[in-house]
Amino acid sequence: MKLIFSVLFFAALVSAEIPQIIPTPQTIVEKTGQFKITSATKIVIGNDDQTEQFIAQELNNELSVLKESPLKVVDEQSVRKLTSNFIFIGKSTTEYGKKFLANRKGKLTSEMRSEGYFLDVDTKGVVVIAESDKGLFYGVMSLIQLLRIDKRSLLVPALTIHDFPSQTIRGITDDISRGQISTIENFKKIIQFCAHHKMNVYSPYIEDVFQFKKHPEIGKNRGALNAAECKELDAFAKKYFVEIIPIFETLGHWENILIHPEYEKFAEFPGAHTVNISDEKVYALLDEMIGELASCFSSPYFNIAADESWDVGLGVNKERVAKSDLATVHAEHYKRIFAIVKKYGKKPMMYGDIILNHPDILKKIPRDVIIVDWQYGARFDYPSPEVFKNAGFPYIVSPAVWNFTGPFPNYLNTFLNIQAFNLDGFNNGSQGILCSNWNDFGGEALRELNYYGYAWTAECAWNPMKTNLQSFDEKFFHSFFGNNDFEMRAVYSILSNPANQYHWYELWRHPMLPNRDDMVWEKRLPLIQRMQSIRSSMPFVQQMISEAKGTIKKNNDHLQYLIFTTKLNLWFADKIEAQEKIKILLKDSTKTRSEIATQSLLLCKNVVDGLVSVRSEFEKVWLTTNKPQNIDRLL
């Protein structure tokens, strides 16, 4: 406990005056003074077009969140003189754009052309200038994060920013195929979060959760997205300068499709999760599916996935592989899928894990495919970026929010993985970063707990060389919750502590089986230590959340996920204690069989009663953001 308060006290002393912008701009020069926004302040846009109107509306939307009145929006042609009390948002080619750029000594370099911006604030007004619509949008996103309320006054600190991204591709991939499929409203919330943090790619992972016209059984009762929903999301994302790149499995991870009787004939063997790549009917099916899915998204890219295809050659293709090798067989399949993707006017992307296991593939496929190199463990350095660089392939690094092994993300692993892997990629010429999240255990992991990791991805992606976790934490929790207290930062730190983490396997493991502290993917502290840590720290976390409720101005709905996590943790501790007590009772020679049975039943009843309560709360929070289909599989 002393350590926690020491950390919080130190954090309070450091970076209190740091401009609260995520991602951190390339250059910030702080000045004295501040600009006060009043009801008479006008938003002046350079061109009265839909895009600049939309960007101005995003600023007004933020004012509404802060319970401030929206500002009047006018175009510069209607303004005779602009000397004070204004927020100018415009291109460098307009009359006022040129004037303000010169008067305020702003520069728009070649690096700033496509996504960069100039933001200047003084006591008279705010200026956001860019060469592109996207740059204007990003400049206003920075302005939004600078807004402060002080004694009922809405203020912006005086400063000058010149900013642009260091990497082209910045975004996330989102597993919607293992159980959780967002409502359309939640998809839009995720896209907006990406955009507000200057990420430009959202990439949903799709196995069987798209409604194909000629295949009604695929995705049936799974909440699958239809074409109209995909097109609606694509149009929404484009307004926010976010590109939706679909990820569709074209080799492995077909188990949810191959399990259907009419599709099992396409499998490598009965029960396989890969398709039979020697069957021409498979390619006809993939051609049809890729074409239908690709038509729903405007992105020039299509990710064919093709990861973890471990079943290839274990069934009908065993002889084909024996005559050749796995590298050649995979490469032949990839090239056929590339041709299909290009047929529909798209550029192929794919995962790189099988390639790293069979590097000869790199000699057998064209170099215009973009490799998505996924590595999820925390390391000091990663060798794979150099492999793809030396082979001459364009590639993107893909670390992960480590959210898939238990109820709360392991943010220690997450932050190390994102920072180090992104930097290694950047130093070896990667095109950017797509941070993954997964839901390997049927959709139990609540994806609303991932935003912290998404924001860190944005921070690292924008300027890999200048990432600082301590200043980032200060900015994120202030920005996300809208307060200056440190309770929520401490809550995240405690929930992510290894002493309070456990695997889904452990949560649902039969109580009479031997304990396993060395679970899949992660080593764990001894179970008894974690039980005790959870017991001692969760009430403290619950108290901090309760106290923070009165000060939080944004994302109040997020608290329900944190509260649920604490309750599930406490139930897990109760379950562990009960199972160990029962094991001890069964060895107790001083008690009769009847006494042992009575006490054991009472322990079991308490655990079951607790589970019923937790189950009800899980259903409530799960349905807040997800379609109702699939939850019955978890309950």
Domain positions in the chain are: 27-163, 169-469, 487-634
pLDDT over 90, % of the chain = 89
The whole-angstrom separation of Cα 332 and Cα 338 is 10
Compute the residue count for the chain: 635
Give the pLDDT of residue 521.
Answer: 66
Question: What value does the mean pLDDT take over residues 399-411?
Answer: 96
Question: What value does the mean pLDDT take over residues 282-306?
Answer: 98
Pairing of strands 153-163, 27-37: antiparallel
Query: Considering Cα of 16, then 21, then 26, then 27, what sign does the dihedral take?
Result: negative
Question: What value does the mean pLDDT take over residues 427-437?
Answer: 98
Residue 179: closest CA among 244, 223, 233: 223
Does the pLDDT of residue 1 top 70, yes or no? no
CB 89 within 8 A of CB 42: no
Give the pLDDT of residue 11.
Answer: 43
Which DSSP string corresponds to 261-324?
TTTGGGBSSTT-SSB-TT-HHHHHHHHHHHHHHHTT---SEEE------TTTTSSTTHHHHHHS
Mean pLDDT, all residues of the chain: 94
Chain segment 338-388, per-residue pLDDT in tens: 999 999 999 999 999 999 999 999 999 999 999 999 999 999 999 999 999
Does the pLDDT of residue 4 top 70, yes or no? no
The whole-angstrom separation of Cα 588 and Cα 580 is 13
Supply angle C-alpha 575, 579, 580, rounded to 5: 120
Structure confidence at residue 517 as a pLDDT band (50, 70, 90):
low
CB 535 within 8 A of CB 584: no
CATH number given to 27-163: 3.30.379.10
| Token duo for residue 68 | 């401030």
The model's pTM is: 0.95
Does the pLDDT of residue 6 top 80, yes or no? no
CB 624 within 8 A of CB 563: no
The whole-angstrom separation of Cα 364 and Cα 330 is 10
Give the pLDDT of residue 523.
Answer: 79
Residue 108, beta-bridge partner list: none
Give the pLDDT of residue 195.
Answer: 98
Chain segment 132-169, per-residue pLDDT in tens: 999 999 999 999 999 998 888 999 999 999 999 999 99
Least confident of 234-243, 516-525, 605-614, 621-630: 516-525
Does the pLDDT of residue 14 top 70, yes or no? no
Chain segment 52-66, per-residue pLDDT in tens: 999 999 999 999 998
CATH number given to 169-469: 3.20.20.80
CB 54 within 8 A of CB 185: no
Residue 567, CA distances (Å) to 492, 580, 615, 625 in order? 15, 20, 10, 20
The whole-angstrom separation of Cα 161 and Cα 120 is 6
- Residue 325, SS3 per DSSP: coil
Cα of first residue to Cα of last residue in the chain, in angstroms, is: 36
**Burial of residue 397 (number of CB atoms within 10 Å: 0-12, 13-18, 19+):** buried
- Residue 161, SS3 per DSSP: strand
Structure confidence at residue 440 as a pLDDT band (50, 70, 90):
confident
The whole-angstrom separation of Cα 270 and Cα 311 is 11
